[in-house]
Amino acid sequence: MPSRNPLEMFNSLLNPWFTLSSQAVLLGIEAQSVMAMRMMRLAAGGANGQAEAQRMVTEKVAAFAEAHAAAVAGVVAGSNGHHVAKKVLNVYGKRVRGNRRRLSR
């Protein structure tokens, strides 16, 4: 299975924060495509546009709550900062990928 991160082969050589930041950049690019698809749906208006607007707000609140819970759980468990940041990034990544799949249908 190919790696999502082209820099993954250099993980052993790079600072783990650099690897995490490259994953965040890739997530940001993916999020931009989701925003573009959402804007098209919102611009089309109608019931689908209204439903997307409502869904967008509720999903953002739920994603923040899930990411906050993951961060708190990591800190309470004594995880280092890198591990906590990776957990939070994974939460948002899961949401963005789900939205991309849903909106591209």
Cβ distance 41 to 103 under 8 Å?
yes
Q: Does residue 3 sit in helix, strand or coil?
A: coil
pLDDT in tens, 8-63: 656 555 678 888 888 999 999 999 999 999 999 999 999 999 999 999 999 999 99
Residue 5's pLDDT band, with cuts at 50, 70 and 90, is low
Comparing 1 with 60, the larger pLDDT belongs to: 60
- Predicted TM-score (pTM) of the model is 0.81
Give the model's pLDDT for residue 14.
66
Measured CA distances, 12 to 15, 19, 34, 35, 42 (Å)? 8, 10, 32, 34, 44
Q: Does residue 1 sit in helix, strand or coil?
A: coil
Q: What sign for the dihedral angle of Cα 58, 92, 95, 67?
A: negative
Which residues contact residue 37 at a Cβ distance below 8 angstroms, ignoring those fewer than 6 apart? 100, 103, 104
Residue 64's pLDDT band, with cuts at 50, 70 and 90, is very high
Give the model's pLDDT for residue 74.
95
